[in-house]
Amino acid sequence: MKFNKTKIHVAASRIHKWLALLVGLQVMVWMISGLVMSAVPIGVVRGEHLIDRDGQDRIVRTQRVRPLEEIVGAAQGPVETVMFRMHDGRLMAEVAGSNWTGLVDPYTAQRLPRVERDAAATIALRRWKGPTNPSVAVEAVDQLSPEFRGPLPAWRVIIDGSTRVYVSAETGQIRAVRTDTWRIYDFLWGLHIMDWKEHDNFNNIWLVSFASSGLLFALTGFVLLTMRFPMRLTRRRKAI
């Protein structure tokens, strides 16, 4: 019996030691990244202090619109939702299907053209809550990236050099706001889930492997604790 306990003790010690070398650094990364991400308010990460994304202009009293059937008929395929909202001071119908979203003039039932570069800048600046008279640059976005995975095409409105507001070219809606705080948060999130490139794969083999190793590290530590603590307690009693 004593021999078996010795073998278990030695095996647990060796496994625990090598696992400490293997997962110790990543555990530290998990702790640091988790601490920072939990300490920073999510509203700051999303840039809510700079861009009012949720603000909507109230729909004013308008003239009679075209029948819903005609508005739906302007879509390119099956329609799932129709939402009326104010856009650039005018009432618009946002029509969405499985593979298409666009604006339709509710008075003429005609599909409206995509939002242009200057209009995208105006939309972003209208929601801007930062310093007055900021610098503005606009870039077209036609490829997805770790920073923006929303619907394309879109416009990237760069305000004051670091804040990037992504505006849908189809609907004029603000789809994402990216700041320096968001980039730090996203970098730490990539380290946390061990997806260092795309920062969105939570089920990758690295995370599963290191999490399993961390669990085994904890279990072997528990075994060592239960085996060593009674020995010390028995020695103290004998000494008394």
The average pLDDT across 66-85 equals 85
Q: What is the pLDDT of residue 37?
A: 92
Please report whether residue 124 resides in a domain.
Answer: yes
Under 8 Å between Cβ of 87 and 174: no
Answer whether residue 1 shows pLDDT above 50.
no
Under 8 Å between Cβ of 190 and 196: yes
Greatest mean pLDDT range, 7-11, 18-22, 26-30, 168-172: 168-172
Q: Identify the three-state secondary structure at position 103.
A: strand
Specify whether 65 is located in the same domain as 126: yes
Residues 6+ apart with CB under 8 A from 66: 106, 107, 108, 109
Specify whether 214 is located in the same domain as 135: no
For residue range 143-200, what is the model confidence (pLDDT) as tens digits? 988 899 888 899 999 999 899 999 999 988 899 999 999 999 999 999 888 888 887 7
> How far, CA to CA in Å, does 144 sit from each of 2, 185, 222?
62, 19, 46
Specify whether 156 is located in the same domain as 53: yes
Answer whether residue 2 shows pLDDT above 60.
no
**In total, how many domains does the chain have?**
2
Residue 17 is encoded by which pair of tokens?
């030691």
Q: Find the domain containing 196 and state its range.
A: 2-43+186-233
Instruction: Name the domain boundary from 178, 199, 223.
Output: 178
Closest CA relative to residue 137, chosen from 116, 114, 115, 164: 164
Specify whether 122 is located in the same domain as 163: yes
Q: What is the pLDDT of residue 227?
A: 67
Task: Give the model's confidence band at 128: pLDDT under 50 very low, under 70 low, under 90 confident, else very high.
Answer: very high
Specify whether 83 is located in the same domain as 173: yes
Please report whether residue 238 resides in a domain.
Answer: no
Residues 6+ apart with CB under 8 A from 230: none
Predicted TM-score (pTM) of this structure: 0.76
Specify whether 26 is located in the same domain as 68: no
The average pLDDT across 28-40 equals 90
The average pLDDT across 32-57 equals 88
Instruction: Name the domain boundary from 178, 196, 219.
Output: 178
**Tell me, what amino acid is at 40?**
V
For residue range 79-115, what is the model confidence (pLDDT) as tens digits? 888 988 888 778 888 998 777 788 999 988 898 889 9
Q: Which of 17-26, 100-109, 142-151, 200-209 has the lowest mean pLDDT?
A: 17-26
Specify whether 6 is located in the same domain as 87: no
For the chain, give me the number of helices (H) and strands (E)? 6, 8
State the chain's maximal CA–CA distance in angstroms: 97
Specify whether 10 is located in the same domain as 85: no
